[in-house]
Each structure stands twice: as C-alpha cells, then as structure tokens.
Amino acid sequence: MNFKKRKLLKSEVHLLRAVSRASIKPYRFLFTPLYVFLRKNEKYLAIKGPLDFFDPIELEQFAYVDSFYVHTFIDRLYPFESAGRIISKILNWKPRIEFAADFQVALKPAPYEISNAVLGYLGSLWGSQMQMEPFFTVPLIESIELSLDSDTLEDSRNLDVGLFEDALIFSAWIVFLGLMLGQCDYHYLHDLRKESFQYIIEGSTEDTSNFDDLYQLALWSFHISKERAVRFSDFENNPTLISKKLFWRLKRVDFEFKIEGAEELSLFGEKGILDAV
C-alpha cells in the first residue's frame, strides 16, 4: 500500500504510538505502517506497511528492538476489533448445562436472534453517512478469528503483494456482507474467507454469472470501492434481490443501530494513512 510517510522526524513523534516488540506476533496483520527509531539519524523509519506481517524469521531479526511504533490511526480501528471479538463469542456460543436440583439447560439462541445481535454490532460501524471502505472490515474479520493459515499468507505475499492485499480485503469484505445478510454459521464463513481469498489470488477471469449471488454482490461493490467508499444507497440501485435485501437491512441499521455523529473513517485525507489513489 502506498502509505504517506516512510520516514518521520523525531519532532513528529505525536503521530506515533509505541508498542512493545512482544506484542507483535508472527502472521498477525499490521493495519498501519510500523516504524523503528534510528537513533543515529533521529528519524523513524517504516519497515512494514499496512496489511503486511512478520514471519518468525523476520521478527527474530528485530530481537534487539524493545519498541516498535505504529501510527495513531490504529486507535480508530478499535471499534472494528472490539465488535469482532464480541461477534466471535456470539458465533461460537455454546450452551452451558447447569446441574441443579431441577436440571436446567441453557438453550442456544435461535438463528434469527444471533443474526439480529450480529447486525446490531455491525450496524454501529457504518458511520453517520452510512458508507464503508472495505479495508476496515479486515481488522473486524481478523478479530472474529476467521484467519488464513500461515502457508497461504507467505505464498500469496511472495507471489504478488498488490494481489495479496486485494485478496485480503476482498475476502474480509465478502464475509462482512455475508454477516450483514444474516449468514452466521462460523464454519461457512471460515470456508468463504479461504475460498474468496484464493479466487482473487488466482486472478480468475471466469464469467462471474455462474457465481452465487453473494459473490456477485461482493465483486460488484468491491469494484466500486476502488474509486470511493461503498454507500448504502449503492445497494438500492443494484437490481438483484440480494442487493435489495441488503439495502433493507441497512435501512434498519440506519434507523436502529447507526451512531449519530459518528466520525467517518477513511484511509485517505488528513487523518488517513494512505496517499490519494
């Protein structure tokens, strides 16, 4: 990703947040540039960009470093990571059997109750203008623990970094749309993440008319996101039934779950971390 500043002056430390080396784990994605401080030059140098990761060997090369530095943009991702952790618990909830005198058993919520709870947490992330840049779904989906295996990550990054980033974002975006539409089976979502990631990596040019409706919707909206944020009104203008369903669910979000006055998040602009496309 073409992020703004690969070097920062010591006087620009207010743009950074120190993180311990121990907090950086192999194969865990970075969502902002990662810097080290060069004492000799008194500058911060970016050694990793957004959506990159360390493998164990790379991380070991920085064993001498006590602290890395991330852009303060990381703070703006907290709502997505927090919602992801809660949704993960909802999707993986298991009833607890209570051994008591009358032997009561806690029943698992009905599917519509799970879907409704998930929609509430996702709905709070759309912003006051009801639009979304698919990048922000990556920390969300990673926090739900729908992660890709290490071999897939290494092989794909080594093949083509740009394609790897597209695959990473698209596979999170399609899972996000599936959740928005009420698809709350954890195993289905995990398979969807892997299969959609591989589809982009393989650079398939096959006719998408044979794909299921969710794939077509995700590919169509992902194409829009190359130019601007995806708006909830976009789904009203798409004539497919699945798009209409998503539009009406987003209408409900707009009415029930949207946080009024919530800051609009973007990778670009004064508060973003990327250069304009």
Q: What is the DSSP string of 197-214?
A: HHHHHTT--S-GGGS-HH
Q: How far apart are CA 84 and CA 172, in angstroms?
A: 12
Asked if 218 contacts 246 with a C-beta cutoff of 8 angstroms, the reply is: no
Angle at 24 between CA 21 and CA 27, to 5 degrees: 145
What pLDDT, on the 0 to 100 scale, is given for residue 100? 55
- Cβ neighbors of 131 (< 8 A, separation 6 or more) are 229, 230, 231, 232, 264
- Name the 3-class secondary structure at 161: helix
Q: How far apart are CA 60 and CA 160, in angstroms?
A: 24
Q: How far apart are CA 267 and CA 135, in angstroms?
A: 8
Alpha carbon separation from 77 to 11, 172, 221, 267 (Å, rounded) = 25, 15, 22, 11
Beta strands in 96-192 (DSSP E): 131-132
What pLDDT, on the 0 to 100 scale, is given for residue 277? 44
Asked if 166 contacts 203 with a C-beta cutoff of 8 angstroms, the reply is: no
For the chain, 277 residues long, give each residue's pLDDT as a single digit of tens: 777 788 989 998 898 999 999 999 999 999 999 999 998 889 999 999 999 999 999 999 998 888 999 999 999 999 999 999 999 999 988 766 655 556 566 677 888 899 999 999 999 999 888 999 999 999 999 999 988 999 999 999 999 999 999 999 999 999 999 999 999 999 999 999 999 999 999 876 555 554 589 999 999 999 999 989 999 999 999 999 999 999 999 999 998 887 777 777 888 877 778 764 4
Q: How far apart are CA 144 and CA 137, in angstroms?
A: 11
Token code pair at residue 65: 């470093």
38 DSSP 8-state letter: E
What pLDDT, on the 0 to 100 scale, is given for residue 233? 93
Cα 216 → chain centroid: 20
Give the DSSP H/E element, type plus range, for residue 80: helix 78-91
Asked if 52 contacts 153 with a C-beta cutoff of 8 angstroms, the reply is: no
Asked if 180 contacts 122 with a C-beta cutoff of 8 angstroms, the reply is: yes
What pLDDT, on the 0 to 100 scale, is given for residue 1? 73
